[in-house]
């Protein structure tokens, strides 16, 4: 219980603020001025804080727009020249960009021919392996195909009748797509014997006559057998050798190319 403070009860307006001399529990619902002031302060501060938050939110920089994904590379709509073959086409033994199809692409670009050269060579492929990849090549609808297969068949001593039949199937399928086929002929090392080599070389001539193809009689002409232009295995050209092969192929296909 608190005792009245002399003079305070006489001067205070009890109707406005309540009797401060009465204990808290005996004020019978009269408002507590201290509590009322504190609550008013609380609600005022709360309102100010909410207002400040709204102002801060309004000033906040808007979120940056979602990043626009990079535009997809424009499709290369140039007619395709498909170089379809084995390791001689793939560029076995040299760095990327040094195969004959790569060199051919740069030369055609330099001369103003708008064609896309595709390197579809796979090291070790025989004509049978070429057949397994044929649908993918034909599906690309190339304008021209440099078909280079047979060397691995011959080096493995496979029956030449099988090689010829496989080449025929590839040529027919490619021609059905409207592609011009240029056939790249090959030969074999002397140790395979003159008769086998003669028969091997002759099958390219028969294919050319039967299907009315353009023929490169020997893809490695001027390169094969020259140690300055061949790798140590004696089977694959080096960088300079592939450059010359590209020149040979370019001469063979140029009659069929168009400048826009």
Phi first, then psi: what are they for 171, rounded to 5°? -60, -45
- Cα(121)–Cα(91) distance, rounded to whole angstroms? 8
The residue from 86, 99, 125, 236 that is catalytic is: 236
Identify which of 191, 182, 189, 193 has the alpha carbon closest to the alpha carbon of residue 230.
189
Check if 95 is active-site. no
Nearest to 204 by CA among 235, 220, 182: 182
Q: List the catalytic residue out of 86, 87, 99, 153.
A: 87
Please confirm, yes or no, whether 61 is among the known catalytic residues: no
Distance (Å) of CA 54 to CA 43, 47, 252: 17, 11, 77
Give catalytic status of residue 109 as yes or no.
Answer: no
| Active site residue ranges | 87, 233, 236
């Amino acid at each position: 219980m608190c005792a009245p403070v002399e003079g305070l009860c006489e001067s205070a307006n009890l109707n406005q603020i309540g009797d401060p001399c009465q204990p808290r529990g005996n004020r019978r619902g009269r408002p507590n001025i201290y509590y009322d002031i504190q609550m008013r302060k609380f609600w005022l501060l709360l309102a100010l804080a909410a207002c400040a938050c709204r102002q801060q939110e309004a000033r906040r920089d808007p979120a940056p727009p979602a990043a626009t994904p990079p535009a997809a590379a424009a499709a290369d709509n140039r007619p395709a020249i498909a170089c379809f073959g084995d390791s001689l086409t793939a560029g076995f033994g040299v760095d990327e960009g040094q195969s004959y199809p790569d060199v051919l692409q740069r030369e055609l670009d330099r001369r103003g021919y708008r064609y896309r050269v595709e390197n579809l060579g796979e090291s070790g492929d025989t004509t049978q392996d070429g057949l397994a990849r044929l649908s993918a090549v034909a599906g690309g609808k190339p304008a021209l195909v440099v078909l280079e297969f047979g060397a691995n068949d011959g080096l493995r001593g496979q029956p030449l009748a099988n090689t010829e039949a496989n080449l025929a199937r590839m040529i027919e399928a490619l021609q059905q797509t409207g592609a011009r086929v240029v056939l790249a002929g090959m030969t074999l090392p002397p140790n395979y014997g003159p008769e086998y080599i003669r028969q091997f070389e002759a099958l390219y001539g028969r294919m050319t006559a039967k299907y009315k193809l353009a023929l490169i009689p020997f893809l490695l002409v001027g390169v094969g057998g020259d140690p300055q232009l061949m790798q140590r295995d004696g089977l694959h050209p080096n960088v300079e050798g592939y450059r010359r092969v590209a020149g040979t192929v370019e001469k063979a296909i140029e009659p069929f190319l168009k400048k826009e």
